[in-house]
Amino acid sequence: MDKLTREEVLHVAHLARISLTEEEIEKFRGELKILMDDIDKIKEIKDFDEEMMYTPVDGNARLREDEIGDMLSAKDATINAPKKNGSFIEVPVMINE
């Protein structure tokens, strides 16, 4: 069976920000290849129009009036955050700003 290379797996894993164990890399080399072959079938479809449909909704998007609604307290805004620091949510330092 055809497989992706290790590098190809690591590339898509990086795009999706997913760390993989060595076993997973090996496992996904085959599994991802099957899915890539699946999606490649679209190339065989020859009979199609240019118009794209990205949503089944026909109508025009509704617009909201510019009014302020309910807001959260700082406590609720951070209530589910794994790491808090006062009213802030904390993450490891962001470099390369």
Partner 1 sequence: MSEFTPTIGIEVHVEVKSKSKLFSNSANSYGMATNTSVNVIDLGYPGTLPTINKEIIRQGIRTAHILNCDITRRMHFDRKNYFYPDNPKNYQITQNRTPIGRNGYVEIEVDGTKKKIEIEELHIEEDTCKSAHRGSVSLLDFNRAGVPLIEIVTKPCIKNGKEAMAYLTKLKELLFYANISDCKMEEGSMRCEPNISISKDDSFGTKVEVKNVSSIHSVGLAIDYEIKRQEEMLNNGETIKEETRRFDDKQGKTILMRVKETGNDYRYFIEPDIPYLELTDDFINESLNALPLLPDELRKKYTNLGLSSLQIEKLINNRSLNTYFLGLLDYKTNYVTAVNLLLSDIASYLNKHNRLILETKLSYEKLVKVIESLESKELSNKNVKDLIDSLMETDKSIEELKKEFNIENITDDSFIKEVVTKVIENNTDSVNDYKNGHDRALKYLMGQVMKETKGAVNPKKANDILIEALNK
Partner 2 sequence: MSKYLDLSIKEIHELLVEKKITPLNLVEEALERIEAAKDLNAFITVNDKVREEASTLGEVDPDNLFFGIPIAIKDNIVTKDLKTTCASHILDNFIPIYDATVVEKIKNAKMLIIGKANMDEFAMGSTSETSYFGAPLNPHDKKRVSGGSSGGSASAVAGGLVPLALGTDTGGSIRQPASYTGLVGMKPTYGRISRYGLVAFASSLDQIGPMTRTVYENAALLNILVGEDEKDLTSVKKEKEDFTRFIGDDIAGMKIALPKYFVSEIVDKEISDRIKEIISLLREKGALVDIIDMKYLDTAVNLYQIIAMAEASSNLARFDGVRYGFRADNIDSVDSMYAKTRGEGFGDEVKRRIMIGSYILSGENAKTYYDKALKVRDDITKEFARIFKDYDLIIGPTTTRVAPMLGMTKDDPHKAFMDDVLVIPVNMAGLPGLNVPVGINSEGLPIGLHIIGKSFAEATIYRLASFIEEVER
Q: Radius of gyration (Cα) for the chain, nearest Å?
A: 23
**Residue 51 corresponds to which tokens in the numbers above?**
């118009």
Dihedral (CA of 41, 45, 50, 52) sign: negative
Closest-CA residue to 29 (of 41, 13, 42) = 13
Among the candidate windows 2-10, 18-26, 43-51, 79-87, which touches partner 1 by CB under 8 A?
79-87
Residue 68 lies near partner 2 (rule: CB under 8 A):
no
**Residue 93 corresponds to which tokens in the numbers above?**
């330092």
Residue 62 lies near partner 1 (rule: CB under 8 A):
yes
Residue 74 lies near partner 2 (rule: CB under 8 A):
no
Residues that bind partner 2 (CB under 8 A): 9, 12-21, 24, 27-28, 31-32, 34-36, 38-39, 41-43, 45, 47-57, 59, 61-62, 64, 72, 76, 79-83, 89, 91-95
